[in-house]
Amino acid sequence: MHEPTQITCLNGRFVRAHRAAVSVADRGFRFGDGVFETIRLVGGVPYQWDEHMARLTQGMAAIHLPDTGADWAGLARKLIAKNQAKEGFIRLAVSRGIGSRGYLPYPAAMPPTYVLEYLPPLAVPTEPYRLWLSQWAKIPARCLPVAHKLAQGLGSSLAAMEAQQHGCDEALQLTTEGMVSETSSANLFWIKDGQLLTPSLKADCLSGTTRDALLRLAAVPVRNVTLGLAALEKAEAVAISNTRLGLHMVQTIEPMGWRFDVAHPIFLHLREALHEDRQRYRKQHAKRWGQP
């Protein structure tokens, strides 16, 4: 729930978050017709801002959303200042707007709806995660442009709830062909023979910005792979990554009972490298975001 003093930007207007309202006729509400980005704040600086904006632009193009004309950086800077935000997240969402004849957008030139929210930080879990092998496969890229952050996420929600019902923290999802893809809310990594492996984008996983940072920062050989579930059984260590968790260790995959090293030196070094990269980014971009 939003705090009474929290401010949200709705279509360029700054309002109390608990009073911000989107129409029930908005296609984002009706059909999940939109895209979004969740951007981590580090000392009041949005980490990897340009990478998030590039993915937002690509996602809007992928689902044929028109340009909003919004100054995203200017609005985000004001949002950070109005909320006196230092840590946490900015969530930027764009829907197609109001108008439809069933699934068909009408009129075709409707103005998009957009929202920028400040989300306070959430505590990062201290214990390694237990993954549950979900019955729900990832939606193939031939069905939806899944490399982008689409507003519809029912498949991920069902997988996450299934994992919770089995006493696990996250759900491991495969492609419809049985290849390892990602979890319900994070990209996946594992270590084998001194190499860092992660599913290729051909495995219907999200092009995660934290994933990109980890691939850039890795000090060991990296392989983007399309492999079946058996590849994880032989892994030395497994971890997941997203904007909130950074790089988080996995202790088991259930119901198979596969167990992994939760203190593997490659992952420990990579996690520290990500932390240092965030701090370096904050220092380099502080002036742009009005931070000391």
pLDDT band at 108 (very low <50, low <70, confident <90, very high): confident
Res 1 pLDDT > 80: no
User: Which pLDDT belongs to residue 180?
Assistant: 98
User: Which pLDDT belongs to residue 101?
Assistant: 85
Q: What is the mean pLDDT of residues 30-57?
A: 98
User: Which pLDDT belongs to residue 49?
Assistant: 98
Q: What is the mean pLDDT of residues 2-15?
A: 90
- Cα(153)–Cα(150) distance, integer angstroms: 7
pTM of the model: 0.95
| Phi, psi dihedral angles at 244 (to 5 degrees) | -75, -50
227 CB-contact burial (10 Å; exposed 0-12 / middle 13-18 / buried 19+): middle
User: Which pLDDT belongs to residue 115?
Assistant: 98
Q: What is the pLDDT of residues 109-161, one digit of tens each?
A: 899 999 999 999 999 899 999 999 999 999 999 999 999 999 999 999 999 99
Mind listing the domains of the chain with CATH numbers?
7-119 (3.30.470.10), 129-278 (3.20.10.10)
Res 204 pLDDT > 60: yes
pLDDT band at 5 (very low <50, low <70, confident <90, very high): confident
User: Which pLDDT belongs to residue 2?
Assistant: 62
